[in-house]
Amino acid sequence: ETGVTQSPTHLIKTRGQQVTLRCSSQSGHNTVSWYQQALGQGPQFIFQYYREEENGRGNFPPRFSGLQFPNYSSELNVNALELDDSALYLCASSFWYSTDTQYFGPGTRLTVL
Amino acid sequence: AQSVTQLGSHVSVSEGALVLLRCNYSSSVPPYLFWYVQYPNQGLQLLLKYTTGATLVKGINGFEAEFKKSETSFHLTKPSAHMSDAAEYFCAALANTGNQFYFGTGTSLTVIP
């Protein structure tokens, strides 16, 4: 059984660019949540995907968008990058009926210059 | 909305001493409560969680936490600190009807040999 994996590990972009981050769920998990963890802060909920649809969103602007694929893997897309988007982006997977038990990936460190 | 407060962004203890990390939540309805640990350059690992039932919850690596509704607290303890406990610890809350985790800002634990 493989855990949650994320790619890439690190990424450097410039302000105004677009970025796509990827997440593969733990085997069998059908729900994926994305979090942004700024330096020195706790993770903040961006959104959750279930059955390929967004199922709940935190306080993030529309330039943060996502996708979930039939195999339950997921992408986080961020358009028009801003300096404040620099953070560790974490994804977590779970079963729909057990979202209180989420398994986190190692994260993608995004730096916006 | 939920909020989670962790008192003390940095805690230092001697090896073998008691570890106490504080967490308070703000909610009219007690949420599900969690403690996660994060080692450098890694994702979050679940230490323990409280959903319902017994208010003293035991987790991995000798950690435990007690849910106190009257104090809206969920403090994490470990009787004897080990060098390997040095990490960042996050308290989190999940509304029992929701899917959005709310994390505290974290407590960095240093263990002094």
Residue-wise DSSP of A43-80: -EEEEEEETTEEEEE-S--TTEEEEE-TTS-EEEEE-S
What is the average pLDDT across B55-72? 94
pLDDT greater than 70 at residue A7: yes
| Interfacial residues of A (vs B; Cβ cutoff 8 Å) | 4, 33, 35, 40-45, 48, 55-56, 58, 90, 92, 99-107
Nearest by CB: B99 against A41, A55, A104:
A55
Q: Are A6 and A25 in contact (CB under 8 A)?
A: no
pLDDT greater than 60 at residue A1: no
What is the average pLDDT across B87-103? 87
Interface test with A, best of B49, B96, B99 (most A CBs within 10 A): B99
Nearest by CB: B51 against A35, A48, A100:
A100
Name residue, tokens 């962004």: B9
Q: Residues near B31 by Cβ (< 8 Å), separated by ≥ 6?
A: B2, B25, B93, B94, B95, B96
Confidence (pLDDT) at A47: 94
Confidence (pLDDT) at B104: 94
- Measured on CA atoms in the order A61, A64, A70, A73, is the torsion positive or negative? negative
Residue B42's pLDDT band (boundaries 50, 70, 90)? confident
Confidence (pLDDT) at A40: 87
Other beta carbons within 10 Å of B14: 10
Confidence (pLDDT) at B95: 79
Confidence (pLDDT) at A48: 93
Interface test with B, best of A32, A51, A90, A100 (most B CBs within 10 A): A100
Do A90 and B32 lie within an 8 Å CB cutoff? no
Give A99 to chain B, closest Cα distance, Å: 7
Confidence (pLDDT) at B99: 78
